[in-house]
Amino acid sequence: MTRALAVTALLVACAAPQPAAHVAEWISDTSSYGPSALPPPPAPTSGSLSTTPIADYATIATKIITAARADRGAYAKLAQLTDTIGARLSGSPELDKAIAWAVTTMKADGHDVRTEKVMVPHWVRGTEEGALVKPVARPLHLIGLGGTVPTPKGGITGEVVVVTSFDELEAKKDTIKGKIVLYNVALAPYPAERGGYGDVAPYRGIGPSRAAKLGAVAVLVRSVTAHSLRTPHTGALRYLPDMPQIPAAAVTVEDALLIARLAEKGPVTVKLRLDNKTLPDAESANVIGELRGREKPDEVVVISGHLDSWDVGQGAHDDGAGCVMMMQALTVLRQLGLQPRRTIRVVLWTNEENGLRGGKAYAKDHAAELGNHVFAFEADSGGFPPLGISFEMKEGTKAEVLAKVTSRLVEVARLAAPIGVRDVKVGHSGADVGQMVDGGVVAGGLSTDWRTYFDYHHTEADTLDKVDPAILADGVAASAVIAYVIADMPERLDAP
pLDDT score of 291: 98
For the residues of 179-238, what is the DSSP string, one character each?
Answer: -EEEE--PPPPSS-SSS-HHHHHHHHHTHHHHHHHTT-SEEEEE-S-SS-SS-----B--
Rounded to whole angstroms, the Cα distance separating 475 from 69 reads 9
Confidence of residue 46 (pLDDT cuts 50, 70, 90): very low
Q: Which residue has the higher pLDDT, 75 or 17?
A: 75
**Cβ-proximal residues to 69 (8 Å cutoff; 6+ apart), any chain:** 419, 470, 473, 474, 477
Specify the pLDDT at position 27.
Answer: 34
pLDDT per residue over 52-86, tens digit each?
589 999 999 999 999 999 999 999 999 999 999 99
> What's the rounded Cα separation, in Å, for the pair 79 and 383?
13
Please list the residues that pair with 390 across neighbouring strands: 425, 445
The confidence score (pLDDT) of residue 195 equals: 53
Q: Express as a percent the part of the chain with pLDDT over 70.
A: 89
The predicted model gives 238-261 an average pLDDT of 97
Where do the CATH 3.50.30.30 domains begin and end in the chain?
126-275
Share the mean pLDDT of the chain.
90
> Is the per-residue pLDDT at 421 higher than 50?
yes
> Are the C-beta atoms of 397 and 439 separated by less than 8 Å?
no
Q: Quote the CA–CA distance of 391 and 373 in Å, as a whole number.
A: 15
Q: Would you say 338 and 64 are in contact if contact means Cβ atoms under 8 Å apart?
A: yes
Cβ within 8 Å of residue 493, ≥6 positions away: 374, 375, 405, 408, 409, 442, 486
Per-residue pLDDT, 29 = 34
Residue-level pLDDT at 36: 30
> For strand 112-124 and strand 277-291, is the pairing parallel, antiparallel, or unpaired?
antiparallel
- Phi then psi for residue 146, to 5 deg, are -60, 125
Quick one: pLDDT band at residue 33, thresholds 50, 70, 90?
Answer: very low
pLDDT value for 196: 87
Q: Kindly compute the dihedral angle of the four CA atoms of residues 140, 144, 180, 228, in this order, to the nearest 10 degrees.
A: -50
Give the count of beta carbons closer than 10 Å to the beta carbon of residue 171: 11
Rounded CA gap, 267 and 269, in Å? Answer: 7
Nearest to 349 by CA among 101, 146, 27, 118: 118
The Cα–Cα gap between 132 and 158 comes to: 10
Residues 229 and 81: their CA atoms lie apart, in Å, by 26
Is 352 noted as a catalytic residue in this protein? yes
Structure confidence by residue, pLDDT tens digits, 298-329: 999 999 999 999 999 999 999 999 999 999 99
pLDDT of residue 244: 96
- β strands within 373-436, DSSP E: 373-378, 386-392, 423-426
| pLDDT 10s digits, 162-213 | 999 999 999 999 999 999 999 999 999 887 554 589 999 999 999 999 999 9
Distance CA(488)–CA(474), nearest Å, equals: 21
Give the pLDDT confidence of 449-462 residue by residue, as tens digits. 999 999 999 999 99
Residue ranges matching CATH 3.40.630.10 in the chain: 25-123+280-488
The pLDDT tens digits for 371-392 are 999 999 999 999 999 999 999 9
Region label for 91, one of left (φ > 0), alpha (ψ between -120 and 50) or beta (otherwise): left
What is the chain's alpha carbon radius of gyration, rounded to the nearest angstrom? Answer: 23
pLDDT greater than 60 at residue 227:
yes
pTM of the full predicted structure? 0.90
Peptide bond preceding 474: is omega within 30 degrees of 0, i.e. cis?
no
The Cα–Cα gap between 109 and 105 comes to: 6
Across residues 91-101, what is the average pLDDT? 98
Residue-level pLDDT at 253: 98
In degrees, to the nearest 5, what angle opens at C-alpha 153 toward C-alphas 223 and 180? 40
Q: H/E element holding 269?
A: strand 269-274
Residue 445 predicted with pLDDT over 50? yes
pLDDT of residue 13: 30
- The CATH number that domain 126-275 falls under is 3.50.30.30
pLDDT at 192: 53
The confidence band for 126, taking pLDDT boundaries of 50, 70 and 90, is very high
Hey, is 456 helix, strand or coil? helix
In CATH, 25-123+280-488 is 3.30.70.20: no
Q: Give yes or no for a contact between 277 and 121, defined as CB atoms under 8 angstroms apart.
A: no
Report the 10 Å Cβ neighbour count for 205: 24
What percent of the chain lies above the pLDDT cut of 90?
Answer: 87
Beta strand residue intervals within 380-426, DSSP E:
386-392, 423-426
Given 116, 283, 352, 392, which residue is catalytic? 352
